[in-house]
């Protein structure tokens, strides 16, 4: 059977040689060897080109998104406050930015019978990180016009107060309390209460809300 295959191959080569009109067998072998070599080189080049070309990935079209909800609450639109004192359910609550103190009081179950509602401005806007303290009538706190809160026992000394004590002030959350402590440690304390406005994030608005509740 192998002999038949070889005979067929020889016959094919003879036909090719006859068509090319090449009389010399040696010349024909050289031409065939060159042709086979060229074909082999072209094959190698073609394979390498295919390997070097980046694959083309066809991404399926993303499905159309559903229509956006009419109201979406993002993290930046949320504030967190702590309500304590003479309320029925003190705790930490979340509100949309711009909410008022009366909403925090309601979320905490409302004021008890011992609360002094004149000591806090229910219409004041809440600040993120604020500690809202509802004082009792027996605490004898002065009436509040701006919703500011202070710790029971007198003004907060901004040169010695802890981060927790500073957070009892209106508009002073955890981050601002840390900034106040870092600022006073770097400069050896505050010479007067007005210098607290040198702390980043504390402007005249916050200062006016807490000036009656701080000291040095």
pLDDT, tens digit (0-9, with 9 covering 90-100), for 130-168: 888 888 877 655 555 444 444 444 688 999 888 888 888
User: Dihedral sign, CA of 169, 172, 178, 181?
Assistant: negative
If we measure between CA atoms, which residue out of 171, 159, 163 comes closest to residue 201?
Answer: 171
Lowest mean pLDDT of 20-24, 65-69, 80-84, name the range: 65-69
**Percentage with pLDDT > 90 across the chain:** 23
Lowest mean pLDDT of 53-67, 108-122, 161-175, 187-201, name the range: 53-67
Identify whether residues 47 and 82 lie together within a single domain. no
Extract the tokens encoding 105: 């009081």
Identify whether residues 86 and 40 lie together within a single domain. no
Mean pLDDT (whole number) for 198-213: 88
Lowest mean pLDDT of 44-53, 91-100, 203-212, name the range: 44-53
Identify whether residues 37 and 136 lie together within a single domain. no
If we measure between CA atoms, which residue out of 188, 186, 130, 184 comes closest to residue 158?
Answer: 184
pLDDT-derived band at 99 (thresholds 50, 70, 90) equals very high
Domain span including residue 95: 75-215
Whole-angstrom Cα distance, residue 83 to residue 102? 11
- What predicted TM-score, i.e. pTM, was given to this entire model? 0.38
Identify whether residues 82 and 138 lie together within a single domain. yes
Beta bridge partners of 85: 134
Is residue 63 one of the residues assigned to a domain?
no
Whole-angstrom Cα distance, residue 202 to residue 110? 30
Extract the tokens encoding 189: 């304390």
- Higher-pLDDT residue of 28 and 144 is 28
Terminal CA-CA length for the chain: 112
Identify whether residues 160 and 202 lie together within a single domain. yes
Identify whether residues 48 and 81 lie together within a single domain. no
Whole-angstrom Cα distance, residue 125 to residue 123? 7
pLDDT-derived band at 56 (thresholds 50, 70, 90) equals low
Identify whether residues 8 and 80 lie together within a single domain. no
Is residue 61 one of the residues assigned to a domain?
no
Q: Give 176: exposed, middle or buried? Use CB within 10 Å, 0-12, 13-18, 19+.
A: buried
pLDDT number for residue 118: 80
Number of domains the chain is built from: 2
Identify whether residues 95 and 31 lie together within a single domain. no
Identify whether residues 114 and 17 lie together within a single domain. no
pLDDT number for residue 137: 79
In this predicted structure, the answer to whether residue 202 has a pLDDT above a threshold of 80 is: yes
Q: Tell me the pLDDT of the chain averaged across its residues.
A: 77
Is residue 159 one of the residues assigned to a domain?
yes
- Higher-pLDDT residue of 94 and 21 is 94
Identify whether residues 30 and 93 lie together within a single domain. no
Contact residues for 112 (Cβ-Cβ < 8 A; gap 6+): 86, 87, 88
């Amino acid at each position: 059977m192998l002999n038949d295959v070889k005979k067929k191959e020889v016959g094919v080569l003879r036909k090719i040689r006859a068509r090319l009109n090449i009389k010399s067998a040696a010349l024909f072998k050289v031409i065939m060897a060159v042709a086979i070599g060229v074909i082999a080189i072209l094959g190698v080049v073609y394979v390498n080109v295919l390997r070097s070309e980046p694959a083309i990935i066809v991404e399926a079209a993303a499905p159309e998104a559903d229509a956006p909800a009419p109201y979406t609450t993002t993290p930046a639109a949320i504030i967190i406050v702590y309500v304590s004192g003479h309320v029925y359910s003190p705790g930490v609550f979340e509100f949309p930015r711009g909410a008022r103190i009366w909403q925090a009081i309601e979320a905490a179950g409302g004021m008890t019978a011992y609360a002094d509602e004149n000591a806090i401005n229910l219409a004041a806007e809440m600040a993120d990180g604020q500690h809202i303290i509802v004082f009792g009538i027996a605490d004898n706190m002065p009436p509040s016009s701006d919703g500011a809160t202070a710790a029971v026992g007198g003004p907060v000394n901004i040169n010695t107060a802890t981060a927790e004590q500073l957070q009892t002030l209106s508009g002073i959350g955890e981050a601002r309390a840390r900034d106040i402590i870092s600022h006073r440690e770097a400069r050896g304390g505050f010479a007067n209460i007005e210098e607290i406005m040198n702390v980043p994030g504390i402007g005249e608005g916050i200062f006016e809300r807490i000036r009656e509740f701080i000291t040095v």
